[in-house]
Chains A and B, each alone.
Chain A
Amino acid sequence: MANPMLEILRGLIYGNILPVGKLSPGARVFATLMGRHGDIVPFLAPQIHDHAMTVAKVPARKYYYDAELLVDTELAVERWYGFDAPMITADNYNFEVEALGAKMVYSDYGMPAVDTNQPLIKERADLDRLGALDPTKGRIPVGVEIARLSAAKGLGLFANGLFCSPFSFICAATGYPKAVRALRKDPAYAKELFDYAENKAIFPYLKAQAKAGVKQTIGADAWSAFPNLTPEMVDEWVVPSAMRLKERGKKDLKMRVSAGAAAADYCEEDPAKFNKEIMFKCLSVALKLLPMNMTMTVMGRTQDWDMRWVQEFAVKNKKWGRKLPIYASLNSRFVRDSTPQQIVEKIREWINIMGRDGGLMFFIGNVPADTPPVNVHTALQAVHKLGHYPIAKDLSAITVEPHKFTPFDDWLKGQPEADVIFKAREKK
C-alpha cells in the first residue's frame, strides 16, 4: 500500500475539491468515508479467513496457528479477488478464552471452536480462580503476531489488532444463555463478568498487542448483534463497556481500542418481521460504537431488505451536509447460494438506491468456506463496473457477465505469498 497519509489526502481532494483521474484503492475508500464519492464505489475486503484457507488449500491445523501463513493467505486471496481495502481476520472470538483454559474443539477443516457446553466460567468463584490472562499462553502470541504482521506487510491505515469484545467474551466463557440470564436477572454478576472480561481477560491481550507496536485494535462482537441483544441492552451494557476499554487503551496503552464491532447489527432473519423502527434503533446504537460516523450493516439478511430504509437513515443522520457513508454488506449466504447473475442484480439495485449521491461502500459479512469463487469475483466486477462515477442514468442498460478469472494457483505463482502457501500444503 502507498503512503497512507498521501492516500487520505488524495481521497480528500478528490471527494471535496477536484474529482479527476483514477484513484488508488485506498484513496477511493477515504473519499467515500468522507461521505463523498471516489472514481468508483469501493469494495472492502470481508471477513474471509475460512474461505481464504479453502481457496488456498492450506490445512486448518497449520493456518490457525501460524500467523504468517494466515496473513499471507488472506492477503493473497483478497488481492486475487481485487478488493479495494485489505482486512485480516482470524477466529477472533477464541483467543482469550482459549488462553484462559477453555475447552476447545480443533478441526482439520475449519477454525477452532469453544465448547460452551463445558464453560470456562460456571460461577462467580471461577473469576478469582482464573485470574488474569497470561499473554504467553494459548494462541495469544499468534494473535499478537497477526496484528504486527498486518502492519509490517503494508496494510497501512487498515492494519489493526483483533480481540474479542467483552460481551462476546462472556458468551464464549459462560455460554450465551447464561450471559443473557446475568444481564436480565443478576446485574451485579453481569457487572462482575464485564469487569473480568475487560480488565483481566482482554486488557492483557491488548497490552501485548501494544507492546508489539500495534496502534489500533478492533474487538469483534457478533454476540451483541440483534436479536441476540436488543438495542436497549447494547446501549445499557455494551456501549459503556466499549467506552471504558477505549479510555483505558488511550490512557494506558496509547492505542485506539474499538470494542463492539457488529454490536447492534440488525440481523433479523425473517423478512416478515423486518421493522424499520427497530432497524433504525440498531443503526443508531451501532453509531455510538463505530470509530467514525457510518451507517453500518454487517451480517444481516440484507438481500431481502428495502435498501431505501438504509439510505433514509444515512440521509437523516447526515453530518456537515453529507449523508453518513453506508457500509453495505452483502449477506454471506446470499453470496454463497446465489447465481452470479442474481448477485449482479442485487448490486445494481443497491447502487441505484444508495450509490448515486456517493458515500457507498460494499462489503460481505463473512465469506463462507464453500462459496464459489466466481460469485465473489463477479460481485467485485459488478460493483466496479456499475459503480463507476458518475453513475449511469440507466443502470439496467449495463451488462455484467460472470467473471472469467485465472485459477488461484496459477495466479499465485510469482506472488510474494507463494512460497509460504505452497510450503504449507506439504505434508510434514
Chain B
Amino acid sequence: MGEGLYQAISKAVTEGEEEEAVKRVQEALKSGSPPVEIMQRGIVAGISKAGELWKANEYFLPDVIMAADAFKAAMAVLKPSLKEGEGAKKGKKVVMGVVQGDVHDLGKSLVIAMLTSAGFEVIDLGIDVPLQKFIDAAREQKPDIIGLGAYMTTTMLEMKSIIAELEKQGLRRKLKVMVGGVPTSQEFADQVGADAWGKDALDAVQKALKL
C-alpha cells in the first residue's frame, strides 16, 4: 500500500477519471492510509499535475473540467475522514462569489478547485451574490482574501461598489480583494481598486499565494 495507490489516485484525477479516482480513494481509506496523505499525495498531486499540463499547453479547458470533476468526487469521498481543519491547516481563508446579477459558475468552480488543491480554505458564497452578503462574510468569516467573479461587462461594474463598501466599512486593512472573470483585466482590477486580478484559475492561485 502507499505510493502506488497515491500515484493511481493522482493519475485518475489528472486524467479526469472520476469513478476510478473515487474507487482508489475508497481503497486507500480501507487500507488504512492516512487521509491527509491521500489528499496531498494523491488528489492534490493529481489536480496540480493537470494545472501544470494546462500551463504547458498540453491540457485544454475540457481536460481541466474533467480533472476538476474527478478532484471534487475524490474529495467528497475523503472529506468525512479528514479531521476538522486538517485539509487546510496551513492555508489562508478565501471567500468567493460571483457578483449580483451574474449567474456564471464555471470560472468560480475552477478557481475554487485549484485554490483548495493549493491548501486554501475556501468559502463559496455562490452566484448572484448581493453586495451585503460579501460585506457580512468579510465581517463574520474574517477571510484573508475575497474573490469576486463576473462574466458580463455589465455585472463586473458591481465589483467597484463592493470594494468601495469594504473600504468604507473599514474592512480592507487586513483583507485583500481579487477579481476575475472573462471581461475583467489587470487595468480593470487597478481601476476598481482590487489587489490582484486572476486571468485564469491557475493564475488566480499563484496571485493568491503571493498576497
Contact = CB atoms under 8 A, between A and B. Distances in A.
Interface of A: 50-51, 60, 105, 107, 109-111, 113-117, 175-177, 180-181, 183-185, 226-230, 233, 269-270, 273, 275, 278, 332-333, 336-338, 366, 368-370
Contact of B203 (A226, A228, A270): A270
Nearest to B127: A117
Given A176-B106, A370-B157, A230 B62 contact: yes
B105 interface: yes
Contacts of A273: 55, 57
B65 A180 contact: yes
10 contacts: A105-B101, A105-B128, A111-B152, A115-B128, A117-B103, A181-B65, A185-B66, A333-B187, A369-B157, A370-B157
B155 interface: yes
Contacts of A337: 185, 187-188, 191
B153 A226 contact: no
Contacts of A183: 62
A184 B153 CA distance: 31
B203 A109 contact: no
B62 A229 contact: yes
A233 B154 contact: no
Given A110-B154, A229-B62, A270-B200, A333 B106 contact: no
Contacts, number: 104
Interface of B: 16, 55, 57, 60-62, 65-66, 68-69, 101-106, 109, 127-128, 151-155, 157, 183-185, 187-188, 191, 199-200, 203
A110 B101 CA distance: 9
Contacts of A336: 153, 185, 188
B187 A369 contact: no
Given A180-B62, A333-B183, A109 B154 contact: yes
B22 to A, nearest CB: 15
A110 to B, nearest CB: 3
A227 B60 contact: yes
A109 B161 CA distance: 14
Closest 8 CB pairs of A and B: A110-B154, A337-B187, A368-B153, A227-B60, A115-B103, A333-B185, A180-B62, A369-B153
A370 B150 CA distance: 14
Contacts of A227: 60-61
- Which of B106, B151, B184 has the most chain A CB within a 10 Å cutoff? B106
Given A177-B69, A270-B200, A370-B153, A113 B104 contact: yes
B153 to A, nearest CB: 4
A176 B105 CA distance: 10
A110 B152 contact: yes
A60 B106 CA distance: 25
Nearest to B126: A117
Given A175-B105, A275-B57, A113 B65 contact: no
Nearest to B16: A184
A177 B127 CA distance: 16
Given A110-B153, A116-B104, A228 B61 contact: yes
Contacts of B16: 184
A113 B103 contact: yes
A191 B124 CA distance: 34
Contacts of B151: 113
A57 to B, nearest CB: 14
A236 to B, nearest CB: 12
Contacts of B69: 177, 181
Given A177-B109, A270-B199, A336-B188, 8 more contacts: A109-B155, A113-B151, A184-B66, A185-B66, A226-B60, A273-B55, A333-B187, A338-B187
B60 A230 contact: yes
B158 to A, nearest CB: 9
Contact of B154 (A117, A176, A180, A369): A369
B104 to A, nearest CB: 7
A332 B155 CA distance: 16
Contacts of A278: 57
Contact of B62 (A60, A184, A270, A332): A184
A12 to B, nearest CB: 38
B103 A332 contact: no
B203 A111 contact: no
A115 B101 CA distance: 10
Contacts of B55: 270, 273
B160 to A, nearest CB: 10
A369 B153 CA distance: 6
Contacts of A60: 154
Contacts of A229: 60-62
B205 to A, nearest CB: 14
A110 B155 contact: yes
B134 to A, nearest CB: 18
B101 A50 contact: no
Contact of A114 (B62, B66, B68, B103): B103
